[in-house]
A and B are shown apart, each in its own frame.
Chain A
């Protein structure tokens, strides 16, 4: 079997702005072993099938010893969050979270934020008044979802800044470390430190809400007795809330920023959206296909030998799925490299699929739809200042670090 050295290139910052040619090269061999060890899967149907394959585990404790790469990314003092677990533990935690977050038990949790989300968006855009240039990331894409996730969870407004800082640091753990051993060590120390501070903070908040519950998710989680299963323990709550916090904002930041970048690169579409705000609904789906915030799903593993597309992935191997590549697989999507805002039959991997399918998707959709429609409506003649913009380092959660935009004024 041939091996390739593409993972290194994908992780290499030099390719961050445009990883798609690399993915196209990867797709020539749907399942391939990278010389650094992991098996990479880049084609749509193979990814689809592995994400529904009960022989694929998300629990890194099932990795063969030699397949283990970096240190653990979760807080070592807490149990793994549900994204890092398999059924039945995964299912139990996911159900408990869903009881407080979505239908049928909490059907209005996300929808109920509708008005608040519009308000936050308008408020942030109002602050652009008098300026001719903004950095979309710092001025909008960051503060927006942090505020939303804080409201959803029930984090008091005055703590949002601190929250943001911890989330930022903790999120960097998602990608393999770079730099000298010393730098790497410092990196992990900082992450552990942020984890601890966040956990301390959340424990306090949970305790408060347990005594005096409010209408927020932390209160609901802290007081939920579970239907017919044991409710979440405090450590379980801490690791899963940390996950929700990171997933709930590091991804939306990129979705909105990638969205604006894509629209500015496609002025006709931008005009179309201005004329027809309802276009934003299919447009966000296409965005999730075309520029998904989550580019890679690293470090799954196999509980058995799995034969797929003519290759046998041995038990215990490190499995890296590349959904951003599957999203551009010409075997699945006609003209995959074109951005078609009303593309029919758009079953993308923007939120993954299978049992780990993103639970935040209804919220992320609502946030992105509201934000993009409103930005496009209100910014007069918006223009890109540099293309490509500077990207964040992270290859897994990919997006611009800054997105300077020039414009002529602000509509009401």
Chain B
């Protein structure tokens, strides 16, 4: 069979290029070798480092327990790759099957995996962002710089944004006994990810640990002194705060700019791909030689109404990379879907937080075990009468059960009796997510032409 023959050849002597040499890129490379790929493998990464792990950056590294350059990802096996580190991919020509690099060279591929992840959304005002003392936290270099500054004992740290990263940084500051203020536009910390019912618990944790938490306000400006050092922050409520360090933790932007003009459906919300990790082009047609994995991917999930999910989860990056790698070197009928149930963890203020499913799709929440007041509980999220997510605070051992509930589309609220069910868990309440009618940052897509042969899709990245 011709197609199988060519897959065989691809496995033996094909050229596979991976752009993005981090978690997803590495795990994909390892999987390729594990599954018998013997051709050439090129790993392109714009960071000068071998693949390293990010979750410790906002935890052990900032605390000073682990040096930033000691978070190299453990290798599962040798991958015998040609490494192009410290050089970014700058463009893609899918017809010529060529990746252009920032240093003017290019690399040809038979199969391409895009795993360029995301980067921190910078402080929008460039001048202010350039002040000495203003940080973001995404890379090893970011962590090294920030840790150094925290070690010097600043008089006050301002964390802008109380999502997971911002909250973890605030927690580290308190553990280092540094005065810290957290400014959050939403009603509570973590409200975007977990809703304000759970966010209220997170707020209690902040307060208990001495964080100066200010919700419902935005930072409107950062002010420097004559020497260009951060001195003060201004808030939307008219208040000000003196701070030497500000950490901007306002979420992330997908690294897709380099794909402009490539014809792929790549924009600020990620690169759309099918459940088999194959990228879509701008017309919505799936490609067969360009694959996507990790934070940069957006893929439809059957369990969640085939919605395109983009996840910034460590476990998702690994699972998706494995599926992508497998599918890259398999004929159609052996390909597998990426049916990962989203799963995420965080550690802050001594509490181990885990979630499974897609909490922010939910309308209701019920504390199914434990108690919010004790900060130890399991809560289930419901959407249209079924369980779609769960979160645990220091009760991770139950999560697997709730994962199965989600996978089986079990009814919500859970109708059964469990251990540790308290009175507050007897009735579901609104989960408290922000209004979903937030403006989207999606690309603009237009269709022109009338007959099927002359119809064209035009794609304008936002």
Task: Given A87-B369, A88-B370, check contact A52 B417 (CB 8 Å).
Answer: no
Partner of B397 from A86, A315, A354 at Cβ < 8 Å: A354
Do A54 and B418 have beta carbons less than 8 Å apart?
Answer: yes
User: How many Å lie between the Cα of A315 and that of B417 in the bound state?
Assistant: 10
Do B369 and A54 have beta carbons less than 8 Å apart?
Answer: yes
Do B419 and A57 have beta carbons less than 8 Å apart?
Answer: yes
B415 CB to nearest chain A CB (Å)? 9
User: How many Å lie between the Cα of A55 and that of B401 in the bound state?
Assistant: 10
- A residues in contact with B376, CB < 8 Å: 88, 91
User: How many Å lie between the Cα of A400 and that of B361 in the bound state?
Assistant: 56
- Among residues of A, the one whose C-beta sits closest to the C-beta of B368 is A54
Q: Which residues of B, 353-385, contact A by the 8 Å Cβ criterion?
A: 368-371, 374, 376, 378
Partner of B420 from A52, A86, A304, A357 at Cβ < 8 Å: A86
Do B401 and A303 have beta carbons less than 8 Å apart?
Answer: no
Partner of B419 from A87, A315, A357 at Cβ < 8 Å: A87
Binary per-residue interface labels of chain A (343-377) against chain B in the complex, 1 for a CB within 8 Å, 0 otherwise: 00000000000110100000000000000000000
Do B417 and A303 have beta carbons less than 8 Å apart?
Answer: yes
- A residues in contact with B374, CB < 8 Å: 88
Do B404 and A303 have beta carbons less than 8 Å apart?
Answer: no
By the criterion of a CB under 8 Å from any partner CB, how many residues of chain B are at the interface?
18
- Among residues of A, the one whose C-beta sits closest to the C-beta of B369 is A54
- B residues in contact with A87, CB < 8 Å: 369-370, 395, 419-420
A274 CB to nearest chain B CB (Å)? 29
Do A52 and B419 have beta carbons less than 8 Å apart?
Answer: no
Judge if A49 is at the interface, Cβ distance under 8 Å.
yes
Judge if B400 is at the interface, Cβ distance under 8 Å.
yes
Do B369 and A52 have beta carbons less than 8 Å apart?
Answer: no
Do B417 and A304 have beta carbons less than 8 Å apart?
Answer: yes
- B residues in contact with A303, CB < 8 Å: 416-419
User: How many Å lie between the Cα of A52 and that of B390 in the bound state?
Assistant: 14
Judge if B398 is at the interface, Cβ distance under 8 Å.
yes
Partner of A53 from B368, B401, B420 at Cβ < 8 Å: B401
- B residues in contact with A354, CB < 8 Å: 397
User: How many Å lie between the Cα of A303 and that of B416 in the bound state?
Assistant: 8
Do A49 and B404 have beta carbons less than 8 Å apart?
Answer: yes
- Among residues of B, the one whose C-beta sits closest to the C-beta of A228 is B374
- B residues in contact with A56, CB < 8 Å: 419
- B residues in contact with A54, CB < 8 Å: 368-369, 378, 398, 401, 418-420
- B residues in contact with A52, CB < 8 Å: 397-398, 400-401
Binary per-residue interface labels of chain B (403-431) against chain A in the complex, 1 for a CB within 8 Å, 0 otherwise: 01000000000001111100000000000
User: How many Å lie between the Cα of A315 and that of B418 in the bound state?
Assistant: 11
Task: Given A54-B369, A54-B398, A354-B397, check contact A304 B404 (CB 8 Å).
Answer: no
By the criterion of a CB under 8 Å from any partner CB, how many residues of chain A are at the interface?
17
B408 CB to nearest chain A CB (Å)? 11
Do A55 and B398 have beta carbons less than 8 Å apart?
Answer: no
A227 CB to nearest chain B CB (Å)? 10
Report which residue of B371, B397, B400 has the largest number of chain A beta carbons within 10 angstroms of its beta carbon: B397
Report which residue of A87, A88, A315 has the largest number of chain B beta carbons within 10 angstroms of its beta carbon: A87
B334 CB to nearest chain A CB (Å)? 21
A245 CB to nearest chain B CB (Å)? 25
- B residues in contact with A55, CB < 8 Å: 416-419
Do B417 and A86 have beta carbons less than 8 Å apart?
Answer: no
Do A86 and B416 have beta carbons less than 8 Å apart?
Answer: no
Do A355 and B397 have beta carbons less than 8 Å apart?
Answer: yes
- B residues in contact with A57, CB < 8 Å: 419
- A residues in contact with B397, CB < 8 Å: 52, 354-355, 357
User: How many Å lie between the Cα of A55 and that of B404 in the bound state?
Assistant: 14
Do B419 and A86 have beta carbons less than 8 Å apart?
Answer: yes
- B residues in contact with A88, CB < 8 Å: 370-371, 374, 376, 420
B375 CB to nearest chain A CB (Å)? 9
User: How many Å lie between the Cα of A303 and that of B419 in the bound state?
Assistant: 8
- A residues in contact with B417, CB < 8 Å: 55, 303-304, 315
- Among residues of B, the one whose C-beta sits closest to the C-beta of A90 is B419
- Among residues of B, the one whose C-beta sits closest to the C-beta of A59 is B419
- A residues in contact with B400, CB < 8 Å: 49, 52
User: How many Å lie between the Cα of A357 and that of B400 in the bound state?
Assistant: 15
Q: Which residues of A, 291-305, contact B by the 8 Å Cβ criterion?
A: 303-304
Do A304 and B416 have beta carbons less than 8 Å apart?
Answer: yes
User: How many Å lie between the Cα of A334 and that of B370 in the bound state?
Assistant: 39
User: How many Å lie between the Cα of A53 and that of B417 in the bound state?
Assistant: 11
B407 CB to nearest chain A CB (Å)? 12
B376 CB to nearest chain A CB (Å)? 7
User: How many Å lie between the Cα of A91 and that of B416 in the bound state?
Assistant: 21
B421 CB to nearest chain A CB (Å)? 8
- A residues in contact with B404, CB < 8 Å: 49
B63 CB to nearest chain A CB (Å)? 13
- A residues in contact with B369, CB < 8 Å: 54, 87
- B residues in contact with A86, CB < 8 Å: 419-420
- Among residues of B, the one whose C-beta sits closest to the C-beta of A50 is B401
A27 CB to nearest chain B CB (Å)? 21
User: How many Å lie between the Cα of A87 and that of B418 in the bound state?
Assistant: 10
- Among residues of A, the one whose C-beta sits closest to the C-beta of B398 is A54
A106 CB to nearest chain B CB (Å)? 16
User: How many Å lie between the Cα of A88 and that of B373 in the bound state?
Assistant: 13
B340 CB to nearest chain A CB (Å)? 19
- B residues in contact with A357, CB < 8 Å: 397
User: How many Å lie between the Cα of A355 and that of B376 in the bound state?
Assistant: 14
B409 CB to nearest chain A CB (Å)? 15
- A residues in contact with B398, CB < 8 Å: 52, 54, 355
User: How many Å lie between the Cα of A52 and that of B405 in the bound state?
Assistant: 12
- A residues in contact with B420, CB < 8 Å: 54, 86-88, 91
Binary per-residue interface labels of chain B (385-405) against chain A in the complex, 1 for a CB within 8 Å, 0 otherwise: 000000000010110110010
User: How many Å lie between the Cα of A123 and that of B51 in the bound state?
Assistant: 48
Q: Which residues of B, 290-340, contact A by the 8 Å Cβ criterion?
A: none
A338 CB to nearest chain B CB (Å)? 23
- Among residues of A, the one whose C-beta sits closest to the C-beta of B418 is A54
- A residues in contact with B419, CB < 8 Å: 54-57, 86-87, 303
User: How many Å lie between the Cα of A91 and that of B395 in the bound state?
Assistant: 9
User: How many Å lie between the Cα of A105 and that of B159 in the bound state?
Assistant: 29
Binary per-residue interface labels of chain A (82-111) against chain B in the complex, 1 for a CB within 8 Å, 0 otherwise: 000011100100000000000000000000
User: How many Å lie between the Cα of A87 and that of B368 in the bound state?
Assistant: 12
Starting from the known contacts A52-B401, A88-B370, A355-B397, 11 additional A-B residue pairs (CB-CB under 8 Å) come to A49-B401, A52-B400, A53-B401, A54-B378, A54-B419, A54-B420, A55-B418, A56-B419, A86-B420, A87-B369, A304-B416
Counting from the closest, the 5 A-B pairs by CB-CB distance are A54-B418, A87-B420, A86-B419, A304-B416, A303-B417
Q: Could you show 27 A-B contacts with beta carbons less than 8 Å apart?
A: A49-B401, A49-B404, A52-B398, A52-B400, A54-B368, A54-B378, A54-B401, A54-B418, A55-B416, A55-B417, A55-B418, A55-B419, A57-B419, A86-B420, A87-B419, A87-B420, A88-B371, A88-B374, A88-B376, A88-B420, A303-B417, A303-B419, A304-B418, A354-B397, A355-B397, A355-B398, A357-B397
